[in-house]
Amino acid sequence: MLLSVVIPTYNRLPILKKCLDALENQSLNDKVQNFEIVIVDDGSTDETVSWLRNNFETYPHLRLFEQSHGGPALGRNLGVERSRGDIIVFIDSDLVVDRYFLINHVDSLFKAWKKLGNRRCFTYGSVINTSNFNCPNSEPFKLQDLSWAYFATGNVAIDKNVLEISGLFDTSFRLYGWEDLELGERLRNMGVKLIKCPKAIGYHWHPALALDQIPHLIRIEKERAKMGLVFYRKHPTWRVKFIIQYTFIHRCLWEFLTFGGLINTKTIRPLLAFLIKNGQQGAAMELLRLPLNLIGVRQIFREASLLGLR
């Protein structure tokens, strides 16, 4: 059986190299005798494309496709369309997987297919967040790594035919966030079952928090708010409202926890600087999440008002 690992990427060359090294180091078995790595470059402005073109011999499973910058949904769709495999595995380009990643996904899929009598399911692996660039797979699993998402493209595997029947990703999600969870809602409505696969481990690298990242993180929250409403307009249910935090419960929660916005990215900046200076970037990030959540919730209510939503 041929697997296709589909990876959209945009300006992430340093960690992408580690991602590819880990994939080329996979252990295979009788069920997984071959695989391909389908990279879709989303208009990178760094050296990603030229470096990949010069390293096909180093990465024999690699296939490269390019598109103008249009977002990960468009990139994943192109990757699926150009893929040759029976099973599609989605990961992000900042994910470093362990040696048995692919066979653990496939073993779990085969067991589920046999039990269900069909292929209407997908496997969802473990994602461990880390800021350790030199050795990302040294990070232990933490409580913060738990995810309640139904379908998240950081680490999933699914039968290609089932995926194509779902309609693939909605390319109207051009900004950050929600395109994978929206597809998850459609899969859920089709009766496609989630199969947990904790042994398929991926280490999600992101740089340790620095103060100069705050404007970018604020922008991401505002983009998530806009895309959250695209999600809600397609699936106007209470479930989706809770997922995107478009409820008065969430509005009241984050207003309360930030004392009506008195705790904000400016007022806590000295404390963040102190924590970062003392090597407590993780604690600083958890503290920063308070005002970031408030920014996101306020933005989504503001956008909803402009759109006339309730």
Q: Which of 72, 95, 116 is nearest to 200 (CA)?
A: 95
pLDDT score recorded for residue 149 = 84
3-class DSSP assignment, residue 22:
helix
How far does CA 85 lie from the centroid of its chain? Answer: 21
CB of 37 closer than 8 Å to CB of 84: no
- Specify the pLDDT at position 32: 83
Query: Long-range contacts for 60-63 (Cβ within 8 Å, ≥24 apart)?
Result: 60/24, 61/23, 61/24, 61/35, 61/36, 61/37, 62/20, 62/36, 62/37, 63/36, 63/37, 63/38, 63/39
Would you give per-residue pLDDT tens digits along the chain (310 residues)? 799 999 999 999 999 999 999 999 999 888 887 999 999 999 999 999 999 999 999 999 999 999 999 899 999 999 999 999 999 999 999 999 999 999 999 999 999 999 999 999 999 999 999 999 999 988 888 878 788 888 989 999 999 999 999 999 999 998 998 999 999 999 999 999 999 999 999 999 999 999 999 999 999 999 999 999 999 999 999 999 999 999 999 999 999 999 999 999 999 999 999 999 999 999 999 999 999 999 999 999 999 999 988 7
Q: Sheet containing 95-97: give its strands across.
A: 62-66, 34-41, 2-9, 87-91, 155-159, 121-130, 193-205, 95-97
User: Scanning the structure block, which residue is given the tokens 């990465």?
Assistant: 59
What are the beta bridge partners of residue 36? 4
Separation between Cα atoms, residue 44 and residue 181, nearest integer Å: 25
Residue 128 DSSP class? E
pLDDT, position 267: 97
Name the β-bridge partners of 65. 40
Q: What confidence score (pLDDT) does residue 275 get?
A: 97
How many CA atoms lie within 13 Å of 74's alpha carbon, on the beta-carbon side? 17
pLDDT value of residue 143: 77
Cα 131 from Cα 205, distance rounded (Å): 5
